[in-house]
Amino acid sequence: MPLPNRWLSSLLMRYNGRMFLVDCGEGTQIPLKLSGWGFKALDTIFFTHFHADHISGLPGLLLTLGNSGKTDPLNLVGPPGLKKIVESLIVISPNLPYPLHLYELPYVKNLGTQEEHGYPLCDQFFFRYSGGNHNIPCLTYSFEISRPGKFNPGLAKELNIPLLQWSCLQGGQTVTLEDGRTIEPHMVLGEPRRGIKLCYCTDTRPTSVMPTFFKDADLLICEGLYGDDENLENAAGKKHMVFSEAATLAKESNASELWLTHFSPALKTPSEFICYAQNIFVNTKVGVDLLSTTLRFVD
């Protein structure tokens, strides 16, 4: 439940002027408002699963988006059953001034895969998903920004490509020249460079594919229902993790940074237990409301 000093777990991302939200439990729109990023630019909401603490805030947020002047489509992405859940919830938020586009992702348990069924995000921004190990279908997400290789002006000159076409090729577009030649980006670009990768994992036990699925993440946001290992059996019984298990996933996947989230209401001061994670993975932070960062390309 949301607490006086702690809202429910969700993730808000902003890229090239568009925003993407993961999960929308009760009251999510309040910290979203406090972020100062506005509402109209919200493009897509991803759902990990359909327990109330991850979706019951949707009707209120949809109404707020309408009141903010949003008219372009809002995309909703989640596991099978999304259509039925959303149709039930929006009974109390009818007549929205913008269309809803629903995308149900086929559930593949414990298999990290890039699915063609996923909603195509902007520019080089895309997502992958994997099945979790919870008591209902639950997805973990990997949000990735690809980065093409460096543009080679020398090659472009050798191929007599007009200067005006360079930016198109640099942006990944194929161009046709006046002499009829077709020039593809790979002909003037170097090897793809390291991009950006953010992974989000909640309401699941560790699975065998997670270290590979999260491999080299710049930021892994992972649940930790309980802080100490004494609660491991309790967490496992509820299909959740403790801090040390999340830290082990971060270490095994060679992540750069770990944020812990999705704490039990019984865990009053999660920061007191951070040692259980930092003893395994040093670069760990305990999530707090409005914790934010900027992820940048590494040259």
**Catalytically active residues, by annotation:** 53
Q: Which single residue is written with the structure tokens 């568009």?
A: 18
Task: With beta carbons less than 8 A apart as the criterion, state whether 103 and 79 touch.
Answer: no
DSSP code at position 201 = E
Per-residue exposure over 162-171, b if at least 16 CB sit within 10 Å of its own CB, e if not: eeebbeebbe
Q: How far is CA 131 from CA 11, 79, 128, 245, in A?
A: 18, 9, 11, 17
Q: Please tell me whether residue 227 adopts helix, strand or coil conformation.
A: coil
Q: How many CA atoms lie within 13 A of 14 on its CB side?
A: 12
Q: What is the DSSP letter of 247?
A: H
Alpha-carbon Rg for the chain in angstroms: 21
Q: What angle do CA 260, 266, 267 make, to 5 degrees?
A: 35
| CA distances to 41, 63, 64, 184 from 68, in Å | 10, 9, 6, 42
